[in-house]
Structure 1
């Protein structure tokens, strides 16, 4: 009985111990109550290291004197490069051109001339070489001359002389016919005419040349090229831009002048042409220039008022001294229409010479003969291209040689 009671007591004690352990374990697993919120903690950055904090203790090392230090070889030493601020470079002024000599210029341009004129010369030689020169053949010769704008009266004269000379000649060899035709064409064009462009007034004033012509003949360009011709012959030039009705005329002429070192006198657009021409001559006198070239407006010959103004320019210029040359610029491709223009200009101003432009672009070389007959003045200059030095003094022999070929 006592044994049973002891076992029960021991069991009760064991159960109590186990219960206490369980309760103690549960109490350890419970979380503590949450604390009330507090302000955030700010962490200060680490303090900056002080100078020398991590410095290594200096050690004694051997030092070399300046005499012991060797210099690098001269070829290895890099030369110092100087760095400069960029400087804006102004464009260089265009240099003054030196025009090619005018002597023999037409001969040098002969090939260009002959390409467009061969239809006249070769056509005549072919017709004259026929075995029988009947009336029909002579009619064809006359027609060839008329188509080339030789003119009615000069054509009739040439045909009559050729008929007489062929009869006397007898045997007609190619060389004989060529020599005959060359001689007659030279007589028709004229070899005794004064074709020199006058640039000396005989006084203390410069020579004055006025250039006239209708629109589209290349008048302003011809004036600029004529300046080159004069400069090539050793003369100093002043240009007068009296064409105030065309906006680009003065600029164009000034560009031509700058290329050869010639001064250009100009005025406002739409200004008085006579006043500008007067000032140009005055400037030429002051500078001691040899020649003053005056470019006038391209007058339409149907506008009487403008033609009267051209006469005014001439009268105003002559207050300084005589007008040495009045050159009429004609487009060779206009043919007989150019003669109509020539007549009107001759009535307003005394034409002293003719400049035929675009002669290389037409087969109507006979206009040289026709215009000379119409005005009674010689062709002095011919234009044979668009190049700056394609204006040449007219030489009858070179021109005829280009017409008939070799």
Structure 2
């Protein structure tokens, strides 16, 4: 079914509904003549629309919108269809004409304001949309939806303070938890502070994030990185471990800085103990790969190969196989066969083509960390794929 067919079918439906509505109204003899004129003009506009004379159609519909709110519902719907079809300028004109009606009931005016706000969003006119949505919130009309759109605007503008306030109001108005969003907004402010070399301000926002959402993996990870950069490795280790407790799916991301801090304080025994314990409670390959690297450093590649082989026998993994093939070539007395070389290259290419992270909501694939999914715009849903990262 083509978009054109959907557009025409929906327009026809609007016409049928409008005709039924006007037929009902025509029972009132006192308004019969006026409504007959409206009926004639409406179907004249519909005829233009069906003949792809969109400019003529919009002129007729705007005239209708300016003269009577009897056609408000189909006019509002038609404007929304223009917006969805990508003809935002026509949607704006039609919805503005609705608001321009004299003595338009307030319940209609606020719905038209909401529609124009959405039109402006589609056109990228965020400042104009913000004014309309803020007005709706102020007069307590369509508050939840207006607040949701305001959050979208502040996220796009990276106005995180306003995003926090708006999300808090949305949470209060709807009872829907916005803790995850608010925690990420605080983390965004922390990232901005770190770029300005203001670690105290960054830590303040990260602490605020944890007050909102105690299990914020992003906040724990960010605190760990700040502590690590200042050579406070014990504190960094504690924060990294808290990040893993908060969300084990981020083990592949957190392990690298965690291992770095353990090595900085020269505590290989503690690290091995932690990795073994983590491996017992985590299904992914990352802890085993870290243990394999440590084993290679401490006792050589033969022991590392044995450790990795034992794991891969029960838990096959492309990433693990790639490391095993690399280890096979580390002994001086070991010659890699041509087949092993080909297999290693094949696996490397296969892994390189795979996304390292994937959105758990919409399936978006990514090569780097995205705290907000670029596709569905949800926060904290893009997570590592352990056999790839």
TM-score band, normalised by shorter chain: under 0.3
Higher-helix-fraction structure: 2
Higher-strand-fraction structure: 1
TM-score (norm 2): 0.21
TM-score (norm 1): 0.21
